[in-house]
Amino acid sequence: MGGSNNLIVSLKEPELIKVLVVETDSILSQGLSAGLQQYGYTIAGIAGQAEEAVRLFKENDVDIILINIHIPGGQHDIGTEANPPVPVVPETNGHDVVDKEVILRQGNYIFVKRNFQFVKINLSEVLYLEADGNYVHVVMKDKKFTIRLSLMQAIQKINYSRFARINRSSVVNVDAIQSFNKEQVEIAQYEIPIGKSYKESFFRQLGFR
């Protein structure tokens, strides 16, 4: 779903909120639904077309509509005066913050949830992961995402064979390494130290015995 998505918000208590997901991409809609259910929301329905969305809206008690406005079908207004559309506002702190635990893996790609949309990341383009408390920074050449996960959780969820942990806070993409010695690796403009307890497993992953 694009940056022009709208979210219609209800003032009910969180545990009573029912969400209608309107999205043409079945992978994204299923991922969004699963993520919402993890946080205790009830999925009132999933629609891939405008007509279907209107029908589900009329047939169900819906509090929130998570909608991609670029969907096939006629022009329909499913908002109400009491529930006006509220625009989704992207992060403005220099990088994108990804909601906790919502990571979808598809081949050598992952989809991470940024605000109310999933963003596709090519794992081969990731330079390294860096832990920062309960967050993990996913550093790419010209982009950075921040995931609300511990480093261990991120490693397990992403599960990419080309990633190697080299210290308590860092996981590097071995294919992105430009040079290394016994103390550090160099990736792009970054110099990342190798922790003593990680040297053996790291060099073994590089092919040294």
Q: What is the pLDDT of residue 172?
A: 97
Nearest residue to 65 (alpha-carbon basis) of 120, 117, 21: 21
133 with 141: CB under 8 angstroms?
no
In the chain, the percentage of residues whose pLDDT exceeds 90 is 30
Residue 155 lies in a domain: yes
Domain limits for position 60: 6-71
pLDDT at 191 over 50: yes
Judge whether 48 lies within some domain: yes
Q: How much is the average pLDDT of 85-114?
A: 59
CATH code of residue 51: 3.40.50.2300
86 or 112, higher pLDDT: 112
Joined tokens for residue 47: 């629609």
Average pLDDT over residues 9-23: 65
What string of DSSP letters covers 161-196? TTEEEEETTEEEEGGG--EE-SSEEEETTEEEEPPG
Q: How many domains does the chain have?
A: 2
Q: Give the pLDDT confidence score for residue 93 in this predicted structure.
A: 45
How confident is the prediction for the chain on average, in pLDDT? Answer: 77
For the segment 31-90, what is each residue's pLDDT rounded down to a tens digit? 778 877 777 788 888 988 888 888 888 888 888 887 765 555 555 454 443 443 333 333
Q: What is the domain-level CATH number for residue 177?
A: 2.40.50.1020
Within a domain: 94? no
* Domain presence at residue 29: yes
**Domain match, 129 and 193 both:** yes
Q: Work out the average pLDDT over 94-107.
A: 63
For residue 117, is it within any domain? no
**Are 62 and 129 contained in the same domain?**
no
In a domain, 118, yes or no: no
Is 65 among the domain residues?
yes
Residue 57 lies in a domain: yes
pLDDT in tens, 114-142: 766 778 899 999 999 999 988 999 999 98
Residues 141 and 202 in one domain: yes
